Structure formats: C-alpha cells, structure tokens
Amino acid sequence: MSAPKHPEGSTEPPAQNTSQMFELNEKKDYDASNSPVSDDDSHKEIGVGRVEAFNKVLYQSGKKGKILLWLLGISIGLTMFAYALDMGITTTIFGTLAASTFGVHSQLGTVNTAGQIIRAISKPFIGKLADITSRPTTYVVVLVFYAVGFAVAASASGFTAYTVGICFTSVGKSGLDLLSDIIVADLTPLEWRGFFSACLSLPFIVTVPVNGFIADGFYEDWRWGLGMFAILVPALLVPAILTLYTMQRRGEKAGMVTMADSKDVRMGRTEATPKNLTYWAKLAYRGLIDIDIIGLILLGFAFSLILLPITLAKSAKGGWNNPSMIAMIVVGFVVLILFGLFEMYLAPKPMMTKRIVKNRAFVAGVIIHIFNQMASSVRNTYFSSYILIIKEWTTYQWTIFLGITTMGLCLVGPIVGLIHRVSHRYKGLMIFGAAARILGYGLLISPNGMMTQDTARLVAAQLIFCLSSLNVVGARVGVQASVPHDDIASLISIITLWSTLGSSVGSAVATSIWTEEMVAQMHVEMPNIDDTTIATIYGNIKTLKKYDFFDPIRQGSIRAYAIVNGHITIASICLSCVPLIASLFMPNFYLGKQQNAVNNKGLDGEVVDVPNQNGPRDANATQQEPATFMQKLAALYRK
C-alpha cells in the first residue's frame, strides 16, 4: 500500500476525532446541525492526533518521507501476506483436519461461530485502542493474542483447548484486518480508496498457490501447520510495528503532535500531567465508555446464547428436547431486548445513534456487508468438506480449487478501484456485482436441488463469485465516504462488527442444516450401513476419505453431501438477494480528491472542488424537479 501519486498527496491529511461519533453529549450531530462536521480539533483522541503526525512526516519530509512511506507500504504488505496465509489454510484446511482428528467434524461450524462472534465484538475494542494509544501499540497487543492463540491451538490435547486457542487468534485476526483498513483510510482520498483498500488483499494471489503446498505438507500433521504461524506472523509483523513507531517518534521530535492536540486538553490534562496509575485508569475508563462496553457485552452474550444452541442442539442429549437448549435461546433473546433498551435509554455513547441510523449509506452498507458475509459463511462452512469427498483430488488440487475465488477477488478488487478512479462513481458496479453473486450460487444447484458435482460448473461458479468484488469494494468506499475523517476508525469498527456477526449467523445456519439433516440423509442413502459406521464417517471426514471412491459407503455419502449442501446453497441464494436490493438504495457519491464526501475536504484539510453530486454533473446546469415515476426513480438512484 502506498500513497496515491497526485499533487494533493503531498500535503497533510487532517486528523480528527473518532470518538465524537458516539458522544450523545455532543450537540453537533449530523442530524442536529446544518454543519455536519465539528471543526473543533480539541476533540481529537491521542491516536488520531498521532495519525496527523504520521501524515506530516510522510508528506513534508521530502525523500525521507517517501522512504518511510515505502517502508510502511512494504511492512503493511508483509503483514497482510501473513494474514493471507492464515485465512487461506488455518480455518478451511487445518480447522477441518483438527476437528476430524478430535472426532468432532460436525462441530466445526460451532467453533467458527464462536470465533466469528469474538472477532466481531473485539473490533470496537481494537478500534478505540488504536485511537487512545496509537496504531503501532495496538499492533503489539494484536500480535500477542495472535501468537499465543496459535501456540495454544497447535499444542491442544483436546478439542476444548483447541477452541480456546482459536478464540485467541480470532482477536489477532480481527486486529490485523481492522488496523490495515484504518491506515488506508487515513492516508488515501476517495478516488483511490477502493484501489488501495483492495490492494491489501493482493498477497492472497501469492498465498493461494503456496497454501496448496503447505496444506499438502502438513496434511498429516496439522499441529505444525498451526504452530508455524506463532513464529511467522510475529516475524512479518515486527517491521510494520517498528516503521510506525519510527514515524511516530519523528513526528513527536518535530513537534507535530502533543497532548494539546488530543482530547486531553478538553479534559484538563496536558503533557505535564503525570502518567501514573490513576491517569491510565481514567484513560481506560473513558475508552470503555466510548466503545459502549456494556452494550458490546450484552450483544456478544445475546448472539452467543442464540447461535450456539442452534449449532449444538443435534449433538446435545435429547436434542431440542433438552431444556438447556431452549433456555439458552430464550435468555439470548431476552438479553438482545435488554441490549436494545440499554442502547435507547441508558448508554452514554450508544453504537447506533440517531445520526447513524439516518445515514443512508451506512445503513445500506451494513445490510450489504451483513448479508454478503452471511451468504458466504453459509456456503463456505462445509463447502471444503464437500469438495474433498466428491473429488479424487490431491490436497494441493483441493486447496487450489478452494482458493480460486480468493485469487479472483484479489485480482478484480484493484481493477474495480481503478474504475472508481476513472469514473468517480461506484453504484452501477455494485448492482452488477450483487447480481453476479446470485448467478454464481445458482450455478452450484442442479435441477434436482442437489449441489452440482460437475467440475466445469463448480469452477465457473468460483470464477463468477470473483465479480462480487464490485459490490463489496463499492459498499466499503460508499460507507467511508459518508462520514468525516474523524469518524473513520469507529465506523469501520462498527460495520465490521455487524458484518462479522452476520458471518457467525451464517455459520450457525449452515451448521444447523448440516447437523439436522446429514445423519438422516446418510441413513436414507445407505440403509444397509450400521449406525456405528455412519457415526464414524459423519464425525471424521478423513476416515470417509479413505474409502475407495466407488465404494458404496463413499458413493452414498457423496449423495448425502450433495443433497444437504444443496439445501445450504439455496439458503445462500435467498440471503444474496438482500444485498442486491440494498445496493439500489446506496448513495452514489462522487469520488474525487476529498478524504470524505461529508465536508469534501482534501488530504490537506482544505475543501476541494467537487461536481454536484445530487444533480447534473455541470454545476451551472439547472436542476429540475423529477416529474414522472421513472425520473424520480432515476433521481433516487443518482443520490
């Protein structure tokens, strides 16, 4: 990732307040003022002020600034390379193998659900930590969770210990993903935002084929496969941390950031204030209030109590007749209601303020992200298991096939960003991408409702899914354009919170379908096979894989897998229709040299010239009120 090469890129981006977005006491809300953005820089958090120092170092230090910029880009690239390696094999490959080793393959979705809930809830914590401390300090915290988690998972003697380790790594993954997005949003104008955000995924192009060799080499010893990330990730992340700390130090020495630039001035604190235990306790308290800690805990408990019983009911004693299953769901919905009441009446700084709810771009973007993630998670949870069983492929071929969509998304994403740069719009591409996604899911379904086994259709679907980048990148840029710079970190945290929760719902839905139908379907397809054998191949996919391809047990299992995965994919099709509808209501902001479309300020903090966004491109043209229904519909689309 590097800064865009244009004249405006040589100046300083304004650093503004992130926490203001959630302050009910601030009366300068978007919906309560003609001026949607506060110009009071005294509200900046410490971390946001340090971003300002980063930018001054980068853009006002000549060659040294450019060198630091390139070092930052390379460091972030190495970080995302490690992240890409992780996302490509630890869950889809090593997670599947680990669950089978412990004889609980059917509980794979439960672990994924728990991990996704943790990833979601940790987003606001990490985002606020980055604001009240600094980006590199937050990277250090993330690294600790990451390394410890993989070490625990790799050395686990049972599935419970493995799950604990995966939960720790979920915090680390959440931090790597979030911090990279925040840094890109800090340093790029809207016309380049989509391109550089998408470039964060380019390492997947390298890691997907590499993952095949790694998975093949560690197929029989997944522990070493997980353990290497406890070493690899710190080694690749350290350069990014050192580079960011260097930039921070240079800014401080040049007097580019002081405590006077932060919220501490408004709170009566200065550099002279001793940073003792009381100081840090108050700082932590403010941070917990800013992220709505009670609301997050209630939300996390609610989703956990609702979703986990869905994935566990089939394996629980008595199934849904077990009182604890019903009790957990009932309590979960009660807690969810309490969360809503707390947010409306008690929360000092609720997640979803009135101005957020009234932000059409944010609402549409959240819906798009939630249902895209949900649909993907529904299909992906057991898709790798399905392909492993129906094809006589090597581990490498299996891994490469599963990575086709990932590689395609990474290639299409930057191209979409370049189209944004040239066209300065994104809505039309979003609609096309959402429609293509539905087509891809449709290709996976045979006329009889079973998932296809045809290699050509499977590959075609994987390739068509690549076009969903048009929808995802556009939604990301549109949402970020709808808020001022000071709200970027918090907005990214909130939208990823809800989208990750959507992913956890998807895993729960897939696991529920799988656990409810698979054993029964196996008995239907293999009526002469005893219960013990059915239970064994249901719980351990590696055991099933050992059967000859034309063995009746293998063929019966393939038919059962195809039927159940067909039902799962139909659920994905239904969910994917929602982002298509939501894309129609997404504002179509002009993407220019401004950092955001709220105040149209450039990276230098000055207002830039932007064409009329809600009417004719020619600012001098007369804007007429739409008369016919079609004209009104077209006007709504252009807004």
pLDDT digits (tens, 9 = 90+) for 503-557: 878 888 888 898 889 999 999 999 888 888 998 888 888 888 888 989 999 999 9
Does residue 26 register a pLDDT over 80? no
Does residue 460 register a pLDDT over 90? yes
- CB neighbours of 146 closer than 8 A, spacing ≥ 6? 168, 169, 171, 172, 173, 175, 176, 229, 230, 233, 234, 237
The structural domain count of the chain equals 2
SS3 205: helix
Q: Mean pLDDT, to the nearest integer, of 433-457?
A: 92
Instruction: Copy the structure tokens of residue 416.
Output: 């979409």
- pLDDT value, residue 319: 64
* pLDDT tens readout for residues 361-389: 888 998 999 999 999 989 988 898 899 89
Does residue 499 register a pLDDT over 60? yes
**Is residue 336 situated within a structural domain?**
no
Same domain, 575 and 614: no
Cα 83 versus chain centre, distance: 12
Reference 375, options 582, 577, 117; nearest CA is: 577
- Torsion angle of the four alpha carbons 173, 174, 176, 179, in this order, in degrees rounded to the nearest 10: 180
Does residue 73 register a pLDDT over 70? yes
Q: Mean pLDDT, to the nearest integer, of 392-404?
A: 84
The residues facing 415 across adjacent strands are: none
**Is residue 200 situated within a structural domain?**
yes
Reference 4, options 482, 602, 601; nearest CA is: 602
**611-639: b (≥16 Cβ within 10 Å) or e:** eebeeeeeeeeeeeeeeeeeeeeeeeeee
Does residue 166 register a pLDDT over 60? yes
Instruction: Copy the structure tokens of residue 385.
Output: 């298991």
**328 — pLDDT class (breaks 50, 70, 90):** confident
- pLDDT value, residue 302: 85
Instruction: Copy the structure tokens of residue 29.
Output: 């809300």
* pLDDT tens readout for residues 218-255: 777 778 878 888 888 888 888 878 877 877 776 666 65
* More confident of the two residues 45 and 130: 130
The residues facing 607 across adjacent strands are: 601
**Is residue 343 situated within a structural domain?**
no
Longest dimension (CA), the chain: 80
Q: CA-to-CA distance for 334 and 32, rounded, in angstroms? A: 33
H-state helical runs in 61-158:
62-89, 96-101, 108-132, 135-154
**563 — pLDDT class (breaks 50, 70, 90):** very high
For the chain, what is the mean pLDDT? 76
- pLDDT value, residue 275: 66
Q: What percent of the chain has pLDDT over 90?
A: 15
Same domain, 490 and 621: no
- CB neighbours of 568 closer than 8 A, spacing ≥ 6? 378, 379, 381, 382, 451, 510, 513, 514
**634 — pLDDT class (breaks 50, 70, 90):** low
- pLDDT value, residue 572: 93
- Please report, for residues 69, 71, 184, 432, the alpha-carbon distance to residue 3 in angstroms, rounded to integers and kept in the order given: 7, 12, 9, 29
Residue 612: CA count within 13 A, CB half-sphere: 11
Same domain, 49 and 109: yes
Residue 626: CA count within 13 A, CB half-sphere: 15
Q: CA-to-CA distance for 120 and 170, rounded, in angstroms? A: 9
- pLDDT value, residue 438: 94
Same domain, 127 and 57: yes
Q: Which of 6-10, 455-459, 483-487 is modeled with the greatest confidence?
A: 455-459
Q: Mean pLDDT, to the nearest integer, of 428-435?
A: 93
Q: Mean pLDDT, to the nearest integer, of 288-299?
A: 82
Last residue of a domain, one of 569, 584, 599: 584
**Is residue 19 situated within a structural domain?**
no
Does residue 350 register a pLDDT over 50? yes
Find the CATH number of the domain harbouring 391.
Answer: 1.20.1250.20
* More confident of the two residues 311 and 26: 311
Same domain, 51 and 193: yes
Q: What percent of the chain has pLDDT over 70?
A: 76
* More confident of the two residues 353 and 507: 507
Same domain, 623 and 577: no
Residue with tokens 């609609």: 431
**Is residue 8 situated within a structural domain?**
no
Same domain, 145 and 64: yes
**Is residue 327 situated within a structural domain?**
no
- pLDDT value, residue 269: 46
Same domain, 498 and 623: no
Q: How many helices and strands in the chain, by DSSP H and E?
A: 24, 0
**Domain containing residue 633:** 609-639
Last residue of a domain, one of 584, 600, 626: 584
- pLDDT value, residue 352: 67
Instruction: Copy the structure tokens of residue 598.
Output: 């709220």
Same domain, 479 and 616: no
The residues facing 594 across adjacent strands are: 602
* More confident of the two residues 31 and 452: 452
**Is residue 316 situated within a structural domain?**
no
- pLDDT value, residue 555: 92
Same domain, 575 and 623: no
* pLDDT tens readout for residues 565-613: 999 999 999 999 999 999 999 998 888 887 777 777 665 556 777 766 5
Q: What is the DSSP string of 314-379?
A: TTSTTGGGSHHHHHHHHHHHHHHHHHHHIIIII-SS-SS-HHHHT-HHHHHHHHHHHHHHHHHHHH
Does residue 616 register a pLDDT over 60? no
- pLDDT value, residue 605: 57
**Is residue 31 situated within a structural domain?**
no
Does residue 109 register a pLDDT over 50? yes
pTM: 0.72
- pLDDT value, residue 106: 66
Q: CA-to-CA distance for 24 and 255, rounded, in angstroms? A: 33
Q: CA-to-CA distance for 137 and 359, rounded, in angstroms? A: 32
Q: CA-to-CA distance for 354 and 26, rounded, in angstroms? A: 13
Q: CA-to-CA distance for 185 and 37, rounded, in angstroms? A: 18
Does residue 130 register a pLDDT over 80? no
Last residue of a domain, one of 541, 568, 584: 584
CA angle 567, 570, 576 (to 5 degrees): 145
**3 — pLDDT class (breaks 50, 70, 90):** very low
CA angle 71, 74, 77 (to 5 degrees): 150
Does residue 412 register a pLDDT over 80? yes
- pLDDT value, residue 615: 44
Same domain, 511 and 627: no
* pLDDT tens readout for residues 413-425: 899 989 999 988 8
Same domain, 613 and 550: no
